[in-house]
Every structure is written in C-alpha cells, then in structure tokens.
Amino acid sequence: MGIAVSDWRLARAVASSGQLGVVSGTALDTVFVRRLQDGDVGGAIRRALEHFPIPGVATELLRRYWKPEGRTPGEPYRLLPMYKAAVSAARARW
C-alpha cells in the first residue's frame, strides 16, 4: 500500500484480517513537498514541521515549497533535487 494512495485505515483493516498491513514510505519526500505546494490544506505538514528537530531545515522547506494559496490550475510542481552518486549540497545540509 503506497503512501498518498492508501493509509493507516486500510493497513489496519488488512492487519485485522490476520494479514500484514503496511503502508509504504516510498517517495514520501515528493508527497511532502507536493502537499506543501498544494497549500497544505488542513495544515498537517506545517504542524509536523513545527516539531522538526532542525528548525533551519523546516524554515527552508517552507520557503522553497509552501504555496499558501496552492498551485494555479496547470502549474507544474516544483521538483526536489535529484539524487546523485555524490550528494548535492542542498541534501547534504539536511
């Protein structure tokens, strides 16, 4: 079960039937920044960032990706830097 496709309720139902109910965290970083760019409806991402142990990282994520009004129709998402064999300076700081 993939993150942003299914959630804990489905994993719980599967586990309650005696099977292994797991929600994958694959591409969680992409889901995270996309939700910020969609306006973080309900504020869950921003609330989580308030508790992040490295405040400068949380501030930078909000500066780069949060769009209070969300994206305009047809506007592409701002992408995360791609992983490379050598870690980019932006990812190395985090």
What's the confidence (pLDDT) of residue 91? 67
- Give the per-residue pLDDT at 86: 72
Q: What average pLDDT score do residues 73-94 get?
A: 80
Domain positions in the chain: 27-93
pLDDT, one tens digit per residue, over 10-48 is 889 999 999 998 888 888 899 999 999 999 999 999 999
CA 2 → CA 12, 62, 66, 91, distances in Å? 14, 25, 23, 24
Position 42 scores a pLDDT of: 96
Rounded to 5, what percent of the chain is helix, strand, coil? Answer: 45, 5, 50
Average pLDDT over residues 59-69: 96
pLDDT over 90, % of the chain: 63
Distance CA 24, CA 4 (A): 9
